[in-house]
Structure 1
Amino acid sequence: MDQQLLVFVTVAEKQNFTRAAEELHMTQPAVSQYIQTLERTVGTKLLERSNKFVRLNKAGEIVYHHAKVILGQYARMQYLIDELMHTASGNLSIGASYTYGEYVLPHILAYMHEHYPLIKPTITIGNTKEIEDLVVSHGLDVGIVEGEFKDDRLYMEPFAEDFMYIIVSLKHPLAARKKIRLSELNKETWIVRELGSGTREATEKMFDRFKLYPHNIMEFGSTQIIKESVEAGLGITMLSHWAVRKEISLGTLKILELDETPVTRKFSLITQSTPFYTKSMEVFLSILRRKDIFSFMKGGTLS
């Protein structure tokens, strides 16, 4: 049946029996025989034929649409079986929100490349909402986002904890203070990420939780711009410790000492809800789920 569908789809797309036969490395009579057999199976004609063209009729359009889906599923099934029998390899499209994608994921990919060099990742960085939408539309195999949400179309799994701190320039008046009341931060200029960002969501939750009502808020679309702006003395912010660890070690940014921090959130992986993954996907997910995944970023190695 799959061969009949393949021949039918090829004829429909080439709109010509001769070109379809050439594409399939078959004779034209053999192509015609497959089409006739399929038409008998479904119980109706599927193609309009003339000396100049071959076109789908209404029944043919229905069969063509479903044949494409069936052939795609068959190809994926075969690919999964082939991968099961061989070393993890092939393309893997990964999406990540900014904090994880820019400050953590490169280290994960370096480890994966060392141990699984045949996996070829492509990376998309966006805010949490953008990554979610791409996974839903099959534009990505797997996404890594900040926070948790519910979407019946996706499988979501929190896999790591992130710690977020309030950050100021080393020259900021608050930087030298040992103890600071959270209410004092209302009068500061806060620099936050755009709507749809997991960091923005965490910041707003922190505002609500501690009844903070900042008078001045500036919205920037990049964590790097926020760090540079805070370092220049434009305002204060709340960011993941992964995003600022280099600047903290260099002494250009400082974490404020507050009883209410760090604020914690989760990194979560999202995939289609299918229980079947390629071997490359399984390898990548197993690395993400490792409890020691962050330890090697601090100077250790994954064993």
Structure 2
Amino acid sequence: MDQYLEVFIKVVEKQNFTKAAEELHMTQPAVSQHIRTLERLVGTRLLERNNKHVRMNKAGEIVYHHAKEILALYTRMQDLVDDLAGSASGPIAIGASYTFGEYILPHIIAKLKKEYPLIKPSIIIHNTKEIIDLVNSYQLDIGIVEGYFNDPQLHSEVVSEDQMVIVASPSHPLLKKNGDLPLSALADETWILREEGSGTRQAADHFFEMHPFTPKAIMEFGSTQVIKESVEAGLGISLLSKWTIVKELTNGYIGMIRVEGLPFKREFTIVTRSVYQTKALNTFIETLKEYLNPGLIKESGEE
């Protein structure tokens, strides 16, 4: 059954029997036979065919969604069985929201690969909502996101704090003010923020609610790098993680505006769906915690 599902997924994603056959190293008639057999087993037609493309019907969408989960669970089961006789090795599917994935995760992966070369991580960077959805559907072994999520289907653990500050162009007049400014002093500024669904945007909205404060003008971008470039160019100000602006602060490309109530702290959280974890996944989690909290890890291991 799992082979029929693998072929079905490939046909759906390639939208073409011939292209799917090439990737699967099968003949096109063999692929067609697998699809017919799966449709017979399920009891209904799954694909709509024409001369150029194939597309899922409603039944096909249901089968595709569950096929991805079934194959992910099958792979995880096999990895857990293999773990019984070996050391930390094998694949890990890791997802991370943009701040963590672009500015912190590469350093953790480099450390992991150096110490455990048999572990093979694959990485997806997306906004927080998408990462949560992929973990929930078993398409990721672990997600690292901004904020804390109390989802009954997920196992969540806060692993570190993140400090967020307000940044502006180095020529911005508010950088020259002495002392901490009230947030109301920034009421007329244009705020450059991430899109809805982003953990960074969620933190900004929460910060505004706490004070309370409503920006008069907001520009939205789907990339932290674009936001930093826009701030440097003088388009507006932003609330960003300190992790993301280390190079810019060091080189004087942007500056931090001193504001009451800052730095604003949020949390980095790891989320998993399965109760059972492979040695590779456990090793990754230990490496991540050690990188983020080296002093804490050392203290907990002392006698």
Q: Are positions 1:293 and 2:292 aligned together?
A: yes
The corresponding residue for 1:116 is 116
Deviations 1:137-175 (A, max 9, x none): 122111100001222221111111100001111111111
For the residue of structure 2 that corresponds to 1:81, the secondary structure is helix
Structure 1 residues 149 and 70, CA, compared in 2 at 3 Å: closer, same or farther? closer
Structure 1 residues 91 and 252, CA, compared in 2 at 3 Å: closer, same or farther? same
The corresponding residue for 1:178 is 178
Distance 1:57 1:192 in 2: 47
One-letter amino acid of the counterpart of residue 280, structure 2: S
Compute the displacement of 1:83 (Å): 1.4
The corresponding residue for 1:202 is 203
Unmatched tracts of structure 1, length 5 or more: 1-5, 15-53, 297-303
Compute the displacement of 1:108 (Å): 0.3
The corresponding residue for 1:246 is 247
Q: Are positions 1:163 and 2:181 aligned together?
A: no
Distance 1:204 1:125 in 2: 22
Structure 1 contact 166–239 (Cα < 8 Å) conserved: yes
The corresponding residue for 1:233 is 234
One-letter amino acid of the counterpart of residue 227, structure 1: K
Distance 2:171 2:39 in 1: 74
Q: How does 1:14-29 map to 2 (within 5 A)?
A: none
One-letter amino acid of the counterpart of residue 164, structure 1: M
For the residue of structure 1 that corresponds to 2:121, the secondary structure is strand
Q: How does 1:98-177 map to 2 (within 5 A)?
A: 98-177=98-177
Compute the displacement of 1:294 (Å): 5.5
Deviations 1:184-227 (A, max 9, x none): 11110000100000110110111111121211111111100000
Structure 1 residues 172 and 11, CA, compared in 2 at 3 Å: closer, same or farther? closer
Deviations 1:262-282 (A, max 9, x none): 10010001111x321111111
Compute the displacement of 1:289 (Å): 2.6
Structure 1 residues 84 and 184, CA, compared in 2 at 3 Å: closer, same or farther? same
Structure number with bigger Rg = 1
One-letter amino acid of the counterpart of residue 171, structure 2: K
For the residue of structure 2 that corresponds to 1:171, the secondary structure is coil
The corresponding residue for 2:265 is 264
Give RMSD over aligned pairs. 3.1
Compute the displacement of 1:178 (Å): 1.9
Structure 1 contact 146–267 (Cα < 8 Å) conserved: yes
Distance 1:94 1:226 in 2: 25
Fraction of identical pairs, as percent: 47
Compute the displacement of 1:84 (Å): 3.0
Distance 1:257 1:12 in 2: 56
Structure 1 contact 193–221 (Cα < 8 Å) conserved: yes
Structure 2 contact 168–254 (Cα < 8 Å) conserved: yes
Distance 1:12 1:123 in 2: 23
Unmatched tracts of structure 2, length 5 or more: 8-35, 44-62, 64-68, 296-303
Structure 1 contact 165–238 (Cα < 8 Å) conserved: yes
Normalised TM-score (structure 1): 0.72
The corresponding residue for 1:28 is none
One-letter amino acid of the counterpart of residue 169, structure 1: S
Aligned length: 244
Q: How does 1:81-96 map to 2 (within 5 A)?
A: 81-96=81-96
Structure 2 contact 159–292 (Cα < 8 Å) conserved: no
Structure 1 residues 150 and 191, CA, compared in 2 at 3 Å: closer, same or farther? same
Compute the displacement of 1:295 (Å): 5.7
Normalised TM-score (structure 2): 0.72
